[in-house]
Amino acid sequence: MNATILHNPRCSKSRAALALLTEAGADVRIVDYLKRPPSRDELARLCARAGIAPRAALRPDAPKVDSDDAALDLMARDPATIERPFVETKKGAVIARPPERVRDLL
């Protein structure tokens, strides 16, 4: 199984989700999203696959926005505002908080 994780190696939840994917035998593509931020279109696609509004993909401490378009603009401009870890497989996408949510995609 292939998986992609928008990963921050300094985040314990992100490290835990990556460990669960690896233990499950997934072939994981790790994207350090702070160094290689996803585009606005990619963020919109991930949110759609996860079945969530873009505002739900913002970290709780991110500046408040009044629309999903503004959320996408903010995340594309400042990737530190993206909630992590975002994980995608052929089964869908989730924000893996708690990390065990990745099991929904295995």
> Coil, helix or strand for 100?
helix
pLDDT tens per residue, range 2-40: 999 999 999 999 999 999 999 999 999 999 999 999 999
Report the pLDDT value the prediction gives residue 39, as an integer from 0 to 100: 97
Residue at token pair 């990745």:
102
Name the band, by pLDDT with cuts 50, 70 and 90, for residue 50.
very high
pLDDT tens per residue, range 61-106: 999 999 999 999 999 999 999 999 999 999 999 999 999 999 999 9
For the entire predicted model, the pTM comes to 0.92
- What domains does the chain contain, in order, with CATH numbers? 2-105 (3.40.30.10)
Q: Is 47 a catalytic residue?
A: no
**Active-site residue identified among 1, 2, 9, 11:** 11
**Distance between CA atoms of residues 8 and 30, nearest Å:** 9
**Residue 32 is encoded by which pair of tokens?**
């350090």
